[in-house]
Amino acid sequence: MKRILIARSAGFCFGVKRAISIANETAGKAEGGTAETAALPIHSLGPLIHNPQTVEELEKKGVRVVESVDDIPCGKVIVRSHGITRRDGEALAAKGVKIIDATCPFVKKAQEHARSLSREGYAVIVVGDANHPEVKSIISYIGGGVPILTSLSDLRDASGIRKAGIVAQTTQSFENLMEFVSVALKIIPEVRVYNTICHATVLRQKESVAVAREADVMVVLGGYNSANTRRLAEICREFNPRTRHIETAAELSPEVLTGVSCVGVTAGASTPEWIIEELVGRIRSIWKEEKIQVAYYQ
């Protein structure tokens, strides 16, 4: 019997569910409000989450994505799950725009740790992708004049730093965080570490690895612009070379399933349940078998 084995934690994480709920509630209030409130535009500064299909659905409900504060003259702005920089937040407040904060609470915690470390005179090491909006938001909370290190090469080249604090992008792997910690401990006398990786991220990665080990082919579902989905694909590929990262079910080629009896499935934190369900349907249609077991990894 052919099997589809799905990681139980696949799909929306708590922070994403919360952001989507806030956005839907905001859009719903606009539809059901007065003529005056309904006329107020609703913006998202950058995509609310890194899933194009979900962002498209929100746009149909009136949540318009813009890339700059300059593109928001009035109305409401939903702060995405990744957070925004302090400068953008201050600029929006100065415009009198109504700010609806959907920043993930775990991201807020990383921002707070970065701010407190810099206030206490610690150099701040931020483990993550320096170009990612979440990391940019964390860095923006670090006080002026404080050294900021975002790569292992920066860390190894650092000199004269007597004490440093470490925070991480919430979707980083624990192994990557520990690599930074190991290097820092060798060259800096005092190192304070805050493990700001979201527990859901750790669980998702562990489950995905377990599924990848068991499956003949591993499919990772999620936006190509999603850092945590790309990271999942990288991790799964280490244990199963036949790992495919796709954004939608339609991208799964029948050739990938040739001679396969077990397909593993996981999905990034920004991937909605309906996309996972579409993939299961796509696999069923390719296999054309009467008996296919669909199970969640225990």
- Residue 32 — very low, low, confident or very high, per pLDDT cuts 50/70/90? low
For the chain, give the percent of residues with pLDDT over 70: 97
Which domains are delineated in the chain? 2-12+199-296 (3.40.1010.20), 14-105 (3.40.50.11270), 106-193 (3.40.1010.20)
Question: In this model, does residue 291 exceed pLDDT 90?
Answer: no
For residue 296, list its beta bridge partners: 6
Place of tokens 């970065």: 114
pLDDT digits (tens, 9 = 90+) for 228-238: 899 999 999 99
Question: In this model, does residue 35 exceed pLDDT 80?
Answer: no
Dihedral angle, C-alpha 290, 241, 222, 130, nearest 10 °: 170
Mean pLDDT of the chain: 92
pLDDT digits (tens, 9 = 90+) for 244-254: 999 999 999 99
pLDDT at 276: 96
Distances in whole angstroms, Cα of residue 87 to Cα of each of 93, 104, 141, 157: 10, 18, 9, 29
pLDDT at 273: 94
Cα angle 67, 86, 51; round to 5: 40
- CA atoms of 83 and 101, how far apart (whole Å): 8
* Residue 6 CB neighbour total at 10 angstroms: 22
Segment among 108-117, 187-196, 285-294 with least mean pLDDT: 285-294
Structure tokens at 16: 């994403």
For the chain, give the percent of residues with pLDDT over 90: 86
Nearest to 179, CA basis, from 164, 198, 166, 162: 166
Active site residues: 134
- Look at residue 247 and give its three-state secondary structure: coil
Question: In this model, does residue 78 exceed pLDDT 50?
Answer: yes
Question: In this model, does residue 181 exceed pLDDT 90?
Answer: yes
Place of tokens 């302090």: 86
Nearest to 76, CA basis, from 112, 105, 33: 33
Structure tokens at 166: 């470490």
Overall average pLDDT of the 172-189 stretch: 95
Question: In this model, does residue 279 exceed pLDDT 70?
Answer: yes
